[in-house]
Chain A
Amino acid sequence: MAEGAGRARSGSRSKTDRLADHDAIERLADELLPALMAKLGASGLGEMEVREGRWKVRLRRPASSQEASGTSGRRSTDRPSRAQPGHAGHGHSPSAVEKHRPGREARAVSSGNGARPNDGASAPETLPAGRRTVATSPAVGIFHPRTDVRPGAWVRAGDRLGSVDVLGVPQEVVAPVDGVLGASLVESGDAVEYGQELVLIELAGVTSGGQGGGSSGAAEDA
């Protein structure tokens, strides 16, 4: 947080002003930022800025993630689901097979069910590790998200985000880390496979910088 910077400039300001600033920063960090992070995550936009009163919040994805977007694995197209019946398979020549070998680590955040509106364009689907992660399916079955937890809500590691129904037996989908619930990558009622990416989690601990002083107070995503 911008505690230090705030203090340096706060000499001429009253204690009430400072307390108000702290309240505002706290509100930004706790309420506005998580919601914005979720929005940015779901939108595919590269940058987002919101002004409110004296404060301005700008969120930006690192440039590297934009470059990486083209490499999102072909897995996005061969996720089996009811939405894609009769998927016609892939190239049958050995060379085609070789070309299509995405590295295991390079599997991108993606969905085969068309749940994301901006899929396919320049949507930056990968973020560097540590910014965003994803809750995956524990089993093959039908996905049902929790309806009482909406994108933008804080979740803790281990929190239940929904379930995958395996022959009538629900298997829990849990948040792998603390963070902010992002977009759902599949619809409720969709067929999902083991390990399929289901719900984005924007990682907690992303800092927001708040600056005191009325002139150009900007809280930026570091």
Chain B
Amino acid sequence: MFRKILIANRGEIALRIVRAARALGIEAVVAYSEADRESLPVQLADEAICVGPADARRSYLSAPAVISAAIVTGCDAVHPGYGFLSEDEGFAEVVRAHELTFIGPPPEVLERFASKEATRRLLAGHGLPMVPGSNGMLRDDGHALEEAERIGFPVLIKPSAGGGGKGMRMVRSPRELETALTIGRSEARAAFGDDSLYMEKWIEDNRHVEVQVAVDRFGHGIHLGERDCSVQRRHQKLLEEAPAPGLSPAARSELCERAIRAVVAAGYENVGTLEFLVDRDGNYYFIEINCRIQVEHPVTEALTGIDLVAMQIRIAAGEPLGIAQADVVSRGHAIEFRINAEDADADFQPQAGIVDRFLAPGGPGVRVDSHVYSGYEVPPFYDSLLAKLIVWGPDRPTAIARSRVALDELLVEGLVTNVPIHQALLANEAFLEGRMTTNLLDRVGGAAFLAAAARA
């Protein structure tokens, strides 16, 4: 097991990893940028080391800075968190070249799953159903049109690299195709430095369901159930819950079993998430795999009682899983709310500034993962996630009732947050009936959604 690890991330996930490391008896060093000097993970870590200026390219995204920090502080492993360098196989390789361990899949596994297109081919070969899509990358506009007509409109244009919805475009007719390709290419180039695009059939009114897996170095793998992440705004997840409301228990376990069988066969290692689209009829299609710990992992932790970050660290250290599929028991229902500093009245603009007062809710089944404290200044350079509120109940109605109480209790003064959106969701008929689809919020519009909830 590791003695001391470097956490190359910020915000709530840096704190989450500090806690997991501590619980395992590992010293935690937080690598931070100048803008995060006063942040909670920096203050609570065993050690903290400034690796660069606010600009993430020179701090959280700088492999030399992060690795140098790990070496001079005497760490034996690096935890990349999510985002930043978490799925960068080049970084993982350099980490290993310096005789440090990358906490995540080994570099060659990251490389195998780096291209979404190649991953889909690989996992299709191991029995996962795929959304009908283009054969390989779109070579040019002519090729794109041919493929779109073969698949049938509407189609979705997606970048091969990256995620988070950047560069994705839905196209309903041949007329819109050329513009969508141009914009998609330039967005993908700007965001990921790679403008290759592919195409998929657009599945109307889909749900986003993902399966959490864990595979040790010895090829022993388990799934830890699924999560429904259909509540999204412009492809950004807002709320996640488990079990997925739209699937029967039989359908859920079939999906999870197929997912774990496929990734074990494909040689995956460490914790990961397989994302699926589920259509109106309950057909599911694999979209992509996330080779990292995810923002919404606490939903699964709430159901199973398993510490996924600790599991990730232990697997990276070469330990066996130590549990079998039968040991994973899922209880009740859990919902995670991403509390973001953003203003719904100003087109969800991220907010920065001082949080004058912060009070986290409590009570049975309530967990808050947050790096915020009263007086903390949210820097303007990074994402707007302030906190994750995770609420568990023995069943969905209880979880929802507890969530209402917790959201009312949560106090964030000084910044505008998206708490009203969450409260509106908990009053929304489609959500209460478990009928949310990924496009619902955008179709209605954030402001209209809030107004409807206010009238109800």
**Chain A residues close to B by CB (< 8 Å):** 78, 80-82, 84-90, 92, 94, 97-98, 100-101, 104, 139-142, 166-167, 169, 191-196
Known: A80-B29, A193-B69. 4 other contacts (CB 8 A): A78-B48, A94-B373, A100-B43, A139-B64
24 pairs, A vs B, C-beta closer than 8 Å: A78-B47, A80-B29, A82-B72, A86-B46, A87-B47, A92-B44, A94-B374, A97-B43, A101-B375, A104-B37, A139-B52, A139-B65, A166-B64, A166-B68, A167-B68, A167-B98, A191-B72, A192-B72, A193-B51, A193-B69, A194-B52, A194-B59, A194-B65, A195-B50
**A192→B52 CA distance, assembly (Å):** 12
What residue of chain A has the Cβ atom nearest to residue B73's Cβ?
A80
| Given A85-B74, A97-B373, A104-B37: A80 in contact with B47 (beta carbons within 8 A) | yes
Instruction: For residue A195, give the distance in angstroms from its CB to the closest CB of chain B.
Output: 6
Does B319 belong to the interface (CB within 8 Å)? Answer: no
Partner pick for A196 among B47, B50, B53, B68, CB 8 A cutoff: B50
**A142→B65 CA distance, assembly (Å):** 12
**A78→B59 CA distance, assembly (Å):** 19
Across the interface, which residues of A come within 8 angstroms of B27, CB to CB?
Answer: 86
At the interface, is chain B mostly helix, strand, loop or mixed?
A: mixed
| Given A80-B73, A82-B74, A195-B34: A140 in contact with B68 (beta carbons within 8 A) | yes
Of residues 161 through 177 on chain B, the ones whose CB sits less than 8 Å from some CB of chain A are: none
Contact with A along B25-49 (1 / 0, CB 8 A): 0010101001001101001111111
Are B43 and A166 in contact (CB-based, < 8 A)?
no
Are A101 and B38 in contact (CB-based, < 8 A)?
yes
Are A194 and B48 in contact (CB-based, < 8 A)?
no
Does B67 belong to the interface (CB within 8 Å)? Answer: yes
Are A80 and B373 in contact (CB-based, < 8 A)?
no
Across the interface, which residues of A come within 8 angstroms of B34, CB to CB?
Answer: 194-195
**Chain B residues close to A by CB (< 8 Å):** 27, 29, 31, 34, 37-38, 40, 43-53, 59, 64-65, 67-69, 71-74, 98, 373-375
Partner pick for A140 among B40, B69, B374, CB 8 A cutoff: B69
Instruction: For residue B15, give the distance in angstroms from its CB to the closest CB of chain A.
Output: 12
Are A167 and B64 in contact (CB-based, < 8 A)?
yes
Are B37 and A140 in contact (CB-based, < 8 A)?
no
Across the interface, which residues of A come within 8 angstroms of B49, CB to CB?
Answer: 80, 140, 193
Across the interface, which residues of A come within 8 angstroms of B373, CB to CB?
Answer: 94, 97-98
**A61→B8 CA distance, assembly (Å):** 42
**A142→B71 CA distance, assembly (Å):** 10
**A141→B31 CA distance, assembly (Å):** 13
**A164→B396 CA distance, assembly (Å):** 56
Q: Tell me which of B49, B51, B65 has the highest count of chain A C-beta atoms within 10 A of its own C-beta.
A: B49
What residue of chain A has the Cβ atom nearest to residue B359's Cβ?
A94
Are B68 and A98 in contact (CB-based, < 8 A)?
no
**A169→B40 CA distance, assembly (Å):** 32
Q: Tell me which of A81, A100, A195 has the highest count of chain B C-beta atoms within 10 A of its own C-beta.
A: A195
7 shortest A-B CB distances, which residue pairs? A191-B72, A193-B50, A80-B49, A80-B47, A194-B50, A140-B69, A166-B68
**A192→B40 CA distance, assembly (Å):** 22
**A89→B29 CA distance, assembly (Å):** 10
What residue of chain A has the Cβ atom nearest to residue B31's Cβ?
A140
Across the interface, which residues of A come within 8 angstroms of B68, CB to CB?
Answer: 139-141, 166-167
**A81→B72 CA distance, assembly (Å):** 7
Across the interface, which residues of B come within 8 angstroms of A142, CB to CB?
Answer: 72
Across the interface, which residues of B come within 8 angstroms of A94, CB to CB?
Answer: 373-374
Across the interface, which residues of B come within 8 angstroms of A191, CB to CB?
Answer: 72-73
What residue of chain A has the Cβ atom nearest to residue B42's Cβ?
A78
Instruction: For residue A141, give the distance in angstroms from its CB to the closest CB of chain B.
Output: 5
**A100→B376 CA distance, assembly (Å):** 12
